Amino acid sequence: MQADSPNDSDMHEMLDRIGAQHVHIGIFDQDGMFRVKRVARAKAEKLAQGGYPFCDVLYKWDSAEETYGGGDYIDVPAKIFPDTVRAWPFEGDQAICIADFAMPFGEHSARNQLIGQIKKAKDMGFSVHSAFEFEFNLLDETAASLREGGFAAPKHYALGNRTYSLETLANEHALLTGLEAMMDRLGIGMDALHTELGPGCFEVPLTHAQGVKAADDAALFKNFAKTYFRRNGLTACFMSKLNENLSGQSGHLHVSLRNLADNSPAFVDLNDTDGLSRTARHFIGGLVTLMPEMLAMCSQTVNAYRRMVPGMWAPISASWGIQNRTVAARVMNDSPDATRVEFRVPSADTNPHVALAMCLGAGLWGIENEIEPGAPICGDQYLATPAPETRFPTDLGMAADWLNESKVARAIFGDVFIDSFVRARRHEYAAFARHVSAWERERYLEVV
């Protein structure tokens, strides 16, 4: 399932190009956090040749780094991928490089699962092209000030911000130009940058990339954006819903396939009314059909379900349409070569490797089984009453149960991954269920 890495000698060549003397070797955990070790160049080259042992606790702890499930937390074999070497975007002669667990433990890894689906697409005659776009809130907070305030009412940055605000972009030119320059050094393209609804809210659509790089770019964008703004005394917040008075933050995913034989767009048929090929319709059919039972894979936090409610610019059921922003899978067919599916369900806190693996796995299943998606939705889907079979689970606990029971998800991704992912989501939901909120105390303390 893992991609073949270039020859081990390529590690030396890649580091030479950058002039790196130290390397930050990282593995993405289940929540998409880049867990790194900084080593000297000589050791990095040795590890690239001989293997990279890393602790299996990455799949045995939660987002608060509390362990669950037991075990002896041993080092297991991992592999370094020299083709992922990028320049460290901050000080000096350093680099970053992605690693991942080798098989059989590597079955737990979403990145490995995504690579498996990309290989499956190749075997079917397609290359995979995709890009994420993220909305996030900038907070006028440091790690210390957030804790001093108990995370209760964080202060916003750019209070007078408006959607597509000229004023905010002009006033924050230096800060935002610095973000763009840092991402450029990382090899991550920012297709655009603009303000969104709410104080300190920004959106960055990333430049599309082929294969696993698109998810790598997205995950690294979030990790390094948070680091960049912390270095500037601010906090970048990628929560789905920061509070009940603000709109949700999306992490929309754009996906297309191209025919390997001639590099033509596989989703296009110029003789079709909507310009869509049978391949596109079957891809959409698979995605729409499997979306409810596989929802936990792109909405893996408790908070993600705060966004998927009526009136929040987020889908609440499996649906598709042409250029319709109220559906879950929006076809964008402005030009044949750029025809693609915008998967609008993921929010800003999604794990890019899991979300893309889910979308691609469902779509390829639809192509294999010639799943028809039905007629596209016209009009405001938020005002419609969804058919029962299209409704999404309403919380993470329910979503984990549906994923656990999905025979198709298990056929696509295997029992090891599904069991591991479901266990982690159930643990996350159980932690939430034990929590007593300020809202509950305010509502019930004096009256019950």
- SS3 category, 290: helix
- Quick one: 269 and 135 in the same domain? yes
Domain stops at, among 108, 127, 156 = 108
Is residue 224 domain-resident?
yes
Concatenated DSSP letters of 58-112: GGSB-TT--B-S-----EE-EEE-GGG-EE-SSSSSEEEEEEEEPTTGGGG-HHH
- Quick one: 302 and 325 in the same domain? yes
Per-residue pLDDT tens over the stretch 91-139: 889 999 999 999 999 999 999 999 999 999 999 999 999 999 999 999 9
Domain stops at, among 77, 108, 139 = 108
What's the pLDDT at 423? 96
Instruction: Please report, for the domain that includes residue 93, its CATH number.
Output: 3.10.20.70
- The domain total for the chain is 2
- Quick one: 96 and 211 in the same domain? no
Whole-model pTM: value is: 0.96
What's the pLDDT at 5? 44
What's the pLDDT at 8? 54
- Quick one: 95 and 128 in the same domain? no
- Quick one: 122 and 101 in the same domain? no
Q: Which residue has the tokens 């899991």?
A: 354
Residue 136, domain extent: 118-443
Positions in the chain whose pLDDT score sits under 50: 1-6
Is residue 300 domain-resident?
yes
For the chain, what's the residue count?
448
What's the pLDDT at 373? 97
What value does the mean pLDDT of the chain take?
Answer: 94
Beta strands in 174-214 (DSSP E): 194-195, 201-205, 209-210
- SS3 category, 134: strand
Beta-bridged to residue 97, according to DSSP, are 25
Is residue 4 domain-resident?
no
Domain stops at, among 54, 73, 108 = 108
Per-residue pLDDT tens over the stretch 148-195: 999 999 999 999 888 999 999 999 999 999 999 999 999 999 999 999
